[in-house]
């Protein structure tokens, strides 16, 4: 059973378990599971890495999907994540800006240093929430939504996510969680949905992760630079 945080006739906000595709595809996928569970159409409007979990929104009608997709394109979605990284950034709060190239054949992204075909700019803001035994709990806000963005931007600085075998973080569960999602509802009012991470990889930071979601960043942390 997929946990549903909120639903109305147009959309459903739910928690994606790690290991399930966020879009239609072979094997278990969120759209297929939600169609069976809710008995209605389900239209994806954004993505989340298969091995990550957390808050997502799905449209129930094509019209709602168009409205949500347009808001996403205008930058009206606010996406925040929690992750556990190996090591700690030199600055406890800051931002990353890189050029990323996604290799579709290998399904892997790389930081590159010149603009060419397929290269896209990626930026994020982060804040270290806690440190313990060589690991750091980090809160991230995405300014862009590139494939594997958080994973590759931290890994390229020698700070891979715990459990991220693709980018040097070792085996086990991927410590990446979509913790907060905000977007405009009907009438233009913003709604915010959040949930603390679940899974064994979060055990060391369980209390800090839940506490972090009760905090608000200063507005300056959200500005793209």
Active site residues: 49
Residue entry with tokens 């990323």: 100
Token pair of 12, please? 């459903």
Q: What is the CA radius of gyration of the chain?
A: 17
Token pair of 157, please? 């600085």
The answer to whether residues 44 and 14 touch, using CB atoms and an 8 Å cutoff, is: no
Query: 3-state DSSP call for residue 142?
Result: strand
- C-alpha 174/C-alpha 164 separation (Å) is 5
CA distances (Å), 26 to each of 17, 29, 30, 34, 214, in order? 16, 7, 11, 15, 37
CA distances (Å), 71 to each of 45, 80, 224, in order? 10, 16, 18
């Amino acid at each position: 059973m997929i946990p549903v945080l909120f639903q109305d006739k147009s959309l459903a906000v739910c928690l994606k378990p790690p290991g399930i595709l966020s879009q239609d595809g072979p094997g278990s996928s969120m759209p297929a599971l939600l169609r069976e569970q809710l008995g209605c159409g389900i239209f994806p409007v954004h993505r989340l890495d298969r091995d990550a979990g957390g808050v997502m929104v799905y449209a129930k009608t094509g019209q709602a999907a168009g409205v949500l997709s347009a808001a996403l394109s205008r930058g009206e979605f606010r996406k925040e994540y929690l992750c556990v990284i190996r090591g700690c950034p030199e600055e406890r709060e800051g931002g990353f800006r890189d050029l990323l190239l996604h290799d579709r054949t290998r399904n892997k992204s790389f930081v590159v240093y010149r603009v060419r075909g397929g290269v896209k700019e990626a930026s994020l803001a982060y804040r270290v929430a806690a440190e313990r035994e060589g690991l750091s709990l980090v809160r991230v806000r995405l300014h862009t939504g590139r494939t594997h963005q958080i994973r590759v931007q931290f890994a390229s600085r020698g700070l891979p996510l715990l459990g991220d075998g693709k980018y040097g973080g070792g085996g086990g569960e991927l410590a990446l969680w979509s913790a907060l999602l905000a977007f405009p509802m009907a009438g233009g009012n913003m709604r915010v949905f959040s949930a603390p991470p679940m899974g064994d990889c979060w055990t060391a930071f369980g209390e800090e992760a839940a506490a972090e979601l009760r905090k608000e960043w200063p507005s300056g942390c959200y500005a793209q630079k």
